[in-house]
A and B are shown apart, each in its own frame.
Chain A
Amino acid sequence: MAEGQTSPGSADMAIDVRDLRMRYGTRDVLTGVSFTARRGEVLALLGPNGAGKSTTIEILEGFRTRSAGQVTVLGQDPARGDEAWRARLGVVLQSWRDHGRWRVRELLGYLARFYVPYSTPDVTRPWDIDDLLAVVGLTEQANQKAKNLSGGQRRRLDVAIGIVGRPELVFLDEPTAGFDPHARREFHDLVHRLSDFENTTVLLTTHDLDEAERLADRILILDQGAIVANGSADELARQMATSAEVRWTVDGRRHVHAAERNDPTAFVRDLLAAEPGITELEVRRASLEDTYMALVHSAEAGRGAAGSRDVAGSRGAAGGRSAARNTDSEVHS
């Protein structure tokens, strides 16, 4: 009651980051990162190597002390988070070979013990081990030693460890590195289950754009220590003026047009009216990868002006760049 007044919105806000800065010596790793995550939201943090993804996530996890800025995670400052706060967090690390001698069930059972005192009427902690094993698909490996698991199985064990305490918020640092497509699909189902049925907030980092698109309600693109884009995959794609490509064939010649605005419909209508002989018409939305590459490039080109740019806000910087590409081109089929 009184707590709700001191930090407004904390009830439905899992993460609130404002102007987060991190400096190692003279090197600025984060230069003013701001974003929020509502409860139950799945956020993907994308960005090239060295963009500051891991630093950001480690500050939120309470493993790293920030240089400046305001950070609130589940209502507490991670730098001063106590053990009760920690019990509500799940952390899936990038590590890969700890507790190698432990059997899967032993390890989960051991870690589960720590969460028992933090069980509440709303959230029964920890997760039942058999259920958890089934959820991550490790039932058959329950009695195997961790060091004998395959890469994908080991990663699923890491995820199981991260969620064994039924966290309200899970951090996943490159969760699917080394997964085969099947394991990846199953992992995606697991994340959907966490957010849909458990109302768990998820913040994940990934290199895989396709994965971000599939999983995340919202994507943050971090580049050189600042957020250069923040929105759903669709919003990000629409942010770029080159969001669609129209291809068609007339008289055996293949044409490509990068649509000028978000909606290529008008262009196609005009095109069909003007050219009755059109075949093989194809309208292709830009993939998230196109958007991502364009955003990172434009951020690097316009460094200095580039801060946190909201999707709904400006489109100027990207629009100017794409004008050069906005011409019809001919391709022989």
Chain B
Amino acid sequence: MTTTTSEARRVAVRAGLVRGLLEARQSLREPGDVLWYFLMPLVFAVVLIFMRGTTVPGTDFALGAMVLPSILGMSIAFGGLTGPAGMIATEREDGTLLRAKATPNGMIGYLVGKTILFGTTTLISTALLVIPGFTVAGDLRLDARTWAMLAGIFVMGLVTTVPVGVALGSLFKNASQTGLLLLGSMVLMVPSGIFYPITALPAWLQWIGQVFPYYWLGLGARSAMLPAEMAAAEIGGSWRTLEMFGVLGAWAVVGFIVAPVVLRRMARRASGAAVAEARDRVMAQGW
């Protein structure tokens, strides 16, 4: 009996791998999704144009080169938060989650599949930053340490944000509320020191920024890609690597505690009647 159970779970994990790869491939063939992957590189390209000749205050370092790692950190958090939140909110209504519940070990397959999908798509959208990034590559510090740090920050970023994103998506009443999260993320860019050094902001804004993972992931990416002397432009004149992993770790712990509770509660609610209700609403309102 137990061997059957564990065998069945292994089968479900393998099915999840298939699911993740299939959905990643489907996403790459969908023009709307592909445009979305180019969003951050596009934003960065526009920023670069406006920041030509501007330097980080007090240095002769190009501001654009500081923004690249910040945007990189930001887009990891962005992909990890908004992707799963929107997905959960949508797939609760369209019956995908219910389908997973109706399949033996289907939830395992679903979660493994989504992890693969978001890992892949977030990696793609951050990798695309290379395109506008090469213009500032000369100012960056790119060595083995850079890539190791970036890989660590990428994994840490997803571990931190995906559970929170899943929890938020489960709390939304319907899929259209995901837009609020998108808006909130945009607003949080300001106090997170993405486009301008956080030290140039008023202290109270700095404190707000330091609560959320956006700032810390940006900081981590800067510590990986910028020359050591650029730490002077940060709070406390340091990369604060320990604090970074500490704050991100705290978010991860909160996420992993809250997400399963919220997800279970939501999964109980995701009954056929709720799906039918959502369908009726979509039919009536057109969204």
Taking beta carbons and an 8 Å cutoff, which residues of A are in contact with B? 54-55, 57-58, 61, 63-65, 83-84, 86-87, 89, 91, 93-102, 106, 110-111, 113-118, 161, 165, 173
Q: Which residues of B contact A83 (CB under 8 A)?
A: 5, 8, 104-105
Q: Which of B7, B14, B19 has the most CB of A within 10 A?
A: B19
In the complex, whether B77 has a CB less than 8 A from a CB of chain A is: no
Q: Which residues of A contact B98 (CB under 8 A)?
A: 63, 93, 95, 98
- Distance between B7 CB and nearest chain A CB, rounded to angstroms: 5
Chain B contact residues, majority secondary structure = helix
Chain A to chain B contacts (Cβ below 8 Å), 18 pairs:
A57-B272, A63-B272, A65-B268, A83-B8, A83-B104, A84-B5, A97-B279, A98-B91, A98-B96, A99-B96, A101-B23, A101-B30, A106-B22, A110-B109, A113-B109, A114-B12, A114-B15, A117-B8
- Tell me which of A86, A95, A165 contacts B272 (CB under 8 A): A95
Expressed in whole angstroms, the Cα–Cα distance for A57 and B1 within the complex equals 28
Interface residues of B in 272-286 (CB under 8 A from A): 272-273, 275-276, 279
Known contacts A101-B23, A173-B272: does B94 contact A95 (CB below 8 Å)? yes
Interface residues of B in 87-102 (CB under 8 A from A): 91, 94-96, 98-99, 101-102
B104/A95 in contact, CB under 8 A: no
When each residue 189-215 of chain B gets 1 if its CB lies under 8 Å from chain A and 0 otherwise, what string results? 000000000000000000000000000
In the complex, whether B47 has a CB less than 8 A from a CB of chain A is: no
B15/A95 in contact, CB under 8 A: no
Q: Which residues of B contact A114 (CB under 8 A)?
A: 8, 11-12, 15, 103-106, 109
- Distance between A333 CB and nearest chain B CB, rounded to angstroms: 46
When each residue 95-123 of chain B gets 1 if its CB lies under 8 Å from chain A and 0 otherwise, what string results? 11011011111100100000000000000
Q: What 7 pairs across the A-B complex have the smallest Cβ distances?
A: A95-B95, A98-B95, A117-B8, A87-B104, A98-B96, A91-B102, A113-B15
Q: Which residues of B contact A116 (CB under 8 A)?
A: 11
Closest to A174 in B: B276
- Distance between B248 CB and nearest chain A CB, rounded to angstroms: 32
In the complex, whether B185 has a CB less than 8 A from a CB of chain A is: no
In the complex, whether B18 has a CB less than 8 A from a CB of chain A is: yes
Expressed in whole angstroms, the Cα–Cα distance for A256 and B15 within the complex equals 65
Q: Which residues of B contact A165 (CB under 8 A)?
A: 103-104
Known contacts A84-B5, A86-B103: does B22 contact A93 (CB below 8 Å)? no
- Distance between B63 CB and nearest chain A CB, rounded to angstroms: 40
A110/B15 in contact, CB under 8 A: yes
A58/B19 in contact, CB under 8 A: no
B4/A93 in contact, CB under 8 A: no
Q: Which residues of B contact A93 (CB under 8 A)?
A: 95, 98-99, 102, 272, 275
Q: Which residues of B contact A99 (CB under 8 A)?
A: 96, 99
**Knowing that A95-B98, A111-B103 are A-B contacts, what are 6 other residue pairs whose CB atoms are under 8 Å apart, sorted by A's residue number?**
A54-B273, A84-B104, A86-B103, A95-B275, A101-B23, A117-B8
